[in-house]
Amino acid sequence: MGFADQRYTVNLSILFAELPLLDRPAAAAAAGFTAVEMWWPWVDAPAPERSESDALKRAIEDAGVRLTGLNFYAGQLPGPDRGALSVPGEESEKFRANVEVAAEFAESLGCGSLNALYGNRVDGADPAEQDALALENLALAARAADRIGAALLIEALNKPESPLYPLVSAPAAVEVVDKVNQATGLGNARFLMDLYHLSMNGEDLPQVIERYADRTGHVQIADNPGRGAPGTGTLPLEDLLDRLRKAGYEGRVGLEYKPVDRPSAETFDWLPVQSRAAR
Catalytic residues: 155, 256
Alpha helices (H) along the chain:
24-30, 50-63, 90-108, 127-147, 170-184, 195-200, 205-212, 237-246
Region of residue 167 (phi > 0: left; psi between -120 and 50: alpha; otherwise: beta) = beta
Bridge-partner residues for 266, per DSSP?
none
Cα–Cα distances in angstroms (integers) from residue 55 to residues 58, 62, 71, 113, in the given order: 5, 10, 18, 21
φ, ψ for residue 87, nearest 5 deg = -95, 115
Bridge-partner residues for 37, per DSSP?
11, 69
User: What contacts 126, CB < 8 A, 6 or more positions away?
Assistant: none
Check the CA dihedral 100-255-204-199 and report its sign: negative
